[in-house]
A and B are shown apart, each in its own frame.
Chain A
Amino acid sequence: MLELDNLHIALKGFQLSADFSIRENRSTAILGPSGGGKSTLLMALAGFTPHSGQIRWRGHNISGLPPSNRPISMLFQENNLFPQLSIAQNVGLGLRPDLRLSAQDKSGVEEALARVGLEGRGADLPKQLSGGERQRVALARTVLRQKPIWLLDEPFAALGPALRRDMLDLVEDIRKVQSATLLLVTHAPEDARHIAKSCIFIDKNKALPPVETERFFSQPAPGFKDYLG
């Protein structure tokens, strides 16, 4: 269980509060108007935005931990790769931050790349890849890090519908194997329906507790109705 206990974020001219729990080993979507605080919530969970209240994972308070010690991998919307490192090195950073990869590490990197459909591309540089392929590389790194919580901040927003669905399927497949807990920020209701078991709506400075996806769409909250228009 991931518990947000009286979580409150106050930035310049912006407020957000959340007070609920998220179930483990499933995908949860976060929806809401742009500028509402979807990304900010993920940033707070990952340890990049200060907040009051507690974040607990399996009963342990993780609020005070530095980002690298949290049980969390985060995928950003863009810039997930260092342009001057090869694909294999970018993935390898997930295993060894100093990039001193053993033969075993290297085969692990190669496996992870194969898992996301990029076998043999390890020596390429990020600029030689398409936008979708770059996000696959970042996903491969997430696979290797084996953290129990994945935070995805609209990483596929720039892709077309078919490609986006493929990527979501890939994410969901791998997530199941690792029994990870996934939080996906998206502005596309169809993405939420596609992989999320439950959905969180962020409205007027408040993140509402997760609702089963079917009920979320069949009995929408008043704010969500307005959002869909």
Chain B
Amino acid sequence: MGGRPEPVTRPSKIFGWAALFAVALLVIVPVLALLSKAGTGGGGALFWPAIRFTLLQASLSALISVALAVPLAKALARRRFTGRRLMISLLGAPFILPSIVAVFGLLAIWGRGGVFSDLLAMADLGPLDIYGLKGVLLAHVFFNLPLATRLLLQGWQAVPAEHFRLATQLDLGRPARFRLFDLPILRSTVPTALLLVFMLAMSSFAVALALGGGPKASTIELAIYQALRFEFDLAGAARLAIVQLLIGLTAAALAFRLGRGAVFGGSLHIGYHEESRQIWPRLLDGVVIVAAALFIGLPLLAILLNGLNGLLTGLPPGLFGALKTSLIVALTSTLLALGLVLLLIHLINSVQGGGRIELFVMLLMATSPFVIGTGLFILLNPFVSPFALALPITALVNAALALPLMLRILRPAMQRAERDYGQLADTLGLSGWSRFRWLTWPQIRPELGFATGLAAALSMGDLGVITLFAPPDTQTLPLLMYRLMGSYRMDAAAGVALILLASSFALFYLFDKGGRHA
């Protein structure tokens, strides 16, 4: 932080406060609604099992993802090979891959009718079964191993190239290298990675919906969904939502205290280049990298091939309507989030105690869409049918949930712009809109493109709050796909999966490219 508040004209600050107020309203009012309902009767046989399962699967997801990320990150950090850049891009893919599509790809590889089950059948072994805890963990590792790896790689990236050269020149042995590089890097990245994966695994509803279920494998969010959708048990849902909120807030507060590594973006240039002449470490690194590439790449390949096949057998009815709805929801929520986040950053930069506002926005990460959704459901239910407002609510909730991510990407960029050019702008008397137009905007364009791209892709693929509200005749692409899977129309679902994947990636690509080129 520059310490010096930038000059701000009064009206823009008012908009900033308005944005903050709107976000607070969107989050706090539903929570209050939950609190008011939580006491009044209701059953909820899933209450304790759901809490237990959520904590168990989220902890295991975090431990397994990060444990596997350590050797992978290390191998990627110290080896140079053709396709390394492709591999790093591949690591970015699962993050914007719609979760229901990922589940579909994972089933095609690991499921009962998947590739591995077929191979096992040839050896007269039973098919794999990835429903329940195993499946949820598999999906979460698929999503979060790449994310954790990127986080860890950034630790290696922070080490000056000279240190690696020095270690080579001085011929430091493995223990010394471990002590000088690996240990401090892991110490600074592993706790953050664990917490982040824990939080993401706690609130990945689509995975639990597709692969979990029953008393043994229901997450809190899944239990909320069942309470609302099938039992209409508002009190039970409210209680579960409060527990989810408390766990999320605890994890987020811990993560905030650990400090904020830049989690996303970055080109990951690493000065580490260890030409180890020993064959075994090189071989081992090679095995790790190839295994990871297959683990991430095969489901993507399966989605592509099955999808093409599915599209050739015919387009499912409602595909284009769903595509249009999804695009509108995604773009609306992205624009909304962009406007809000710019106003909020402006406010954070220009008032005393802006850090507390930032903390508040970051804590939104802990609020699962289900918590907000459940609260809104309870609030709206007496007045209008929540089902009629499915799409606006989805767009709104997606926008609110994109805020922490966007803040995390944009804030450092804006600080950098102020640090590098703020004084120049001051001497030229640039303020207000013209300061934003001529100083901030050109400087933060790449980050802006990246952040909006992520928000759009995530909203496009979201299968969360929409499931609470959507009436049968309203559907987004993810919802259409889920419904097709539910009625075992796998070819049609495969086609939709490919379209959904393509449109999510295309949205991300367009925004990201748009940011980097004038």
Contact = CB atoms under 8 A, between A and B. Distances in A.
B180 A67 contact: no
Interface stretch (B158-166, B228-236, B446-454): B158-166
B172 A97 contact: yes
Contacts of B160: 78-79
A74 B184 CA distance: 25
Contacts of B172: 93, 97-98
B180 A79 contact: no
Contact of A84 (B168, B170, B184): B184
B176 A98 contact: yes
A74 B167 CA distance: 12
Contacts of A94: 170
Interface string B169-185: 11111011000100010
B176 A74 contact: no
**Interface centre among B160, B169, B173, B184, by most A CB within 10 Å?**
B169
Contacts of A67: 165, 168-169
Nearest to A50: B275
A97 B180 contact: no
A92 B180 CA distance: 14
Given A68-B170, A97-B170, A76 B176 contact: no
A85 B180 CA distance: 8
A79 B170 contact: no
A68 B164 CA distance: 12
Contacts of A78: 160, 162
Contacts of B175: 98
Interface in A49-101: 66-69, 72-74, 76, 78-80, 82, 84-85, 93-94, 97-99
Interface centre among B172, B184, B277 (most CB of A within 10 A): B172
A47 B275 CA distance: 11
Contacts of A82: 163, 166, 180
A20 interface: no
Interface string A91-116: 00110011100000000000000000
A35 B339 CA distance: 42
A86 to B, nearest CB: 13
Contacts of B277: 66
Contact of B165 (A69, A76, A99): A76
B169 A46 contact: yes
A227 interface: no
B176 A97 contact: yes
Contacts of B165: 46, 48, 67, 74, 76
Nearest to B161: A79
A73 B168 CA distance: 11
Nearest to B172: A97
Contacts of A76: 162, 165-166
Contact of B169 (A74, A84, A85, A99): A74
A97 B176 CA distance: 7
Interface string A131-166: 000000000000000000000000000000000000
A80 B166 contact: yes
Interface residues of B, number: 18
Sorting the interface of chain A by its residue count into under 10, 10 to 19, 20 to 34 or 35 or more gives 20 to 34
B168 A66 contact: yes
Output the residue of B161, B170, B175, B277 with the most chain A CB within 10 A. B170
Contact of A97 (B161, B163, B171, B275): B171
A97 B180 CA distance: 11
Interface in B396-445: none
Nearest to A85: B180
Contacts of B166: 76, 79-80, 82
Contact of B176 (A68, A72, A99): A99
Given A82-B180, A97-B176, A98-B176, A68 B171 contact: yes
Contacts of A98: 172-173, 175-176
Contacts of B180: 82, 84-85
Nearest to B166: A80
A66 to B, nearest CB: 7
A13 B227 CA distance: 63
Contacts of A66: 168, 171, 275, 277
Given A84-B180, A84-B184, A99-B176, A79 B163 contact: yes
B297 to A, nearest CB: 28
B189 to A, nearest CB: 15
Contacts of A99: 176
A97 B173 contact: yes
A115 B184 CA distance: 31
Nearest to A74: B169
A46 B180 CA distance: 22
11 contacts: A47-B168, A66-B277, A76-B166, A79-B161, A84-B180, A84-B184, A97-B173, A97-B176, A98-B172, A98-B175, A98-B176
Given A66-B171, A68-B170, A79-B162, 9 more contacts: A66-B168, A68-B171, A74-B169, A76-B166, A84-B184, A93-B172, A97-B171, A97-B172, A98-B173
Interface of A: 46-48, 66-69, 72-74, 76, 78-80, 82, 84-85, 93-94, 97-99
Interface of B: 160-163, 165-166, 168-173, 175-176, 180, 184, 275, 277
Going nearest first, the 10 A-B pairs with the smallest beta carbon separation are A68-B171, A79-B162, A79-B160, A76-B162, A97-B172, A67-B169, A67-B168, A93-B170, A97-B171, A97-B170
